[in-house]
């Protein structure tokens, strides 16, 4: 996959003030390299229809469009790939279903999961949760930036840090070796999504 750096955008219809379509338009306008569509509460048809709209926005903005968890939706809308967690479809099976050209990201919570995901063909890792977060209730105990450092030392694929990240602690995450980061509530729950993303993007430019 292309070099992954900067702000990694994940939708959240519950937290969003403007709606997923508006948020993705803002994210793409800021030059984000990846948009992950996550909607745990939508029915299949709703998710399919919304994914089609968001995919076109990403296509126009030369941005990778990934689907969280739902490989059927990823296949149906011909997304660029999918992101899976430890309780979702295993990476090896996801690769068999999606094919060699699609992007697959895997959420990991410790070094062993990270090494395994890389060995199974993951294109990047979502390292989570770094700090305490209320966005994802089943995220688990925060690992701190030490986990990023440990994984960075052992794997070569890009790392996306997520969980409790905000403008105040983002520099710690980047300094620990994260190639990208996601801060959902610090972006989509705010009044100006574009401004918040740009602030995170600026921190990467300082490195």
Q: Where are the domains of the chain?
A: 6-205
Q: How far is 123 from 119, CA to CA, in rounded Å? A: 10
Q: How far is 131 from 1, CA to CA, in rounded Å? A: 27
Looking at residue 139, what is its pLDDT?
55
Structure tokens at 163: 């969980």
Looking at residue 136, what is its pLDDT?
60
Looking at residue 137, what is its pLDDT?
58
For the beta carbon of residue 53, count every other beta carbon within 10 angstroms. Answer: 13
Residue 58 has phi, psi (to 5 degrees) of -65, -40
Could you tell me how far CA 87 lies from the centroid of its own chain?
A: 16
Looking at residue 1, what is its pLDDT?
73
Considering only the top CATH level, what class is 6-205? alpha beta
Looking at residue 109, what is its pLDDT?
97
Question: What's the length of the chain?
Answer: 207
- Asked if 147 and 185 touch (Cβ cutoff 8 Å), the reply is no
Q: What pLDDT tens digit does each residue of the chain (207 aa) get? A: 777 999 999 999 999 999 999 999 999 999 999 999 999 999 999 999 999 999 999 999 999 999 999 999 999 999 999 999 999 999 999 999 999 999 999 999 999 999 999 999 999 999 999 998 776 656 568 999 999 999 999 999 999 999 999 999 999 999 999 999 999 999 999 999 999 999 999 999 877
Q: How far is 46 from 163, CA to CA, in rounded Å? A: 27
Looking at residue 42, what is its pLDDT?
94
């Amino acid at each position: 996959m292309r070099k992954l750096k900067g702000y990694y955008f994940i939708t959240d219809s519950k937290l969003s003030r403007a709606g997923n379509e508006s948020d993705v338009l803002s994210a793409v306008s800021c030059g984000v390299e990846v948009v992950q569509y996550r909607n745990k509460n939508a029915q299949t048809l709703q998710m399919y229809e919304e994914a089609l709209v968001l995919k076109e926005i990403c296509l126009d903005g030369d941005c990778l469009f990934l689907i969280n968890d739902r490989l059927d939706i990823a296949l149906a809308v011909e997304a660029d790939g999918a992101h899976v967690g430890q309780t979702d479809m295993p990476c090896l099976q996801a690769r068999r279903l999606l094919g060699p050209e699609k992007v697959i990201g895997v959420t990991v919570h410790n070094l062993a999961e990270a090494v395994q995901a890389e060995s199974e063909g993951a294109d990047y890792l979502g390292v989570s949760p770094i700090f305490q977060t209320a966005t994802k209730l089943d995220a688990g105990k925060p690992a701190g930036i030490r986990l990023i450092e440990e994984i960075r030392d052992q794997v070569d694929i890009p790392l996306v840090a997520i969980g409790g990240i905000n403008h105040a602690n983002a520099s710690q995450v980047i300094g620990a070796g994260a190639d990208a980061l996601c801060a959902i509530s610090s972006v989509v729950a705010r009044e100006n999504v574009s401004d918040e993303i740009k602030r995170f993007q600026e921190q990467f430019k300082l490195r």
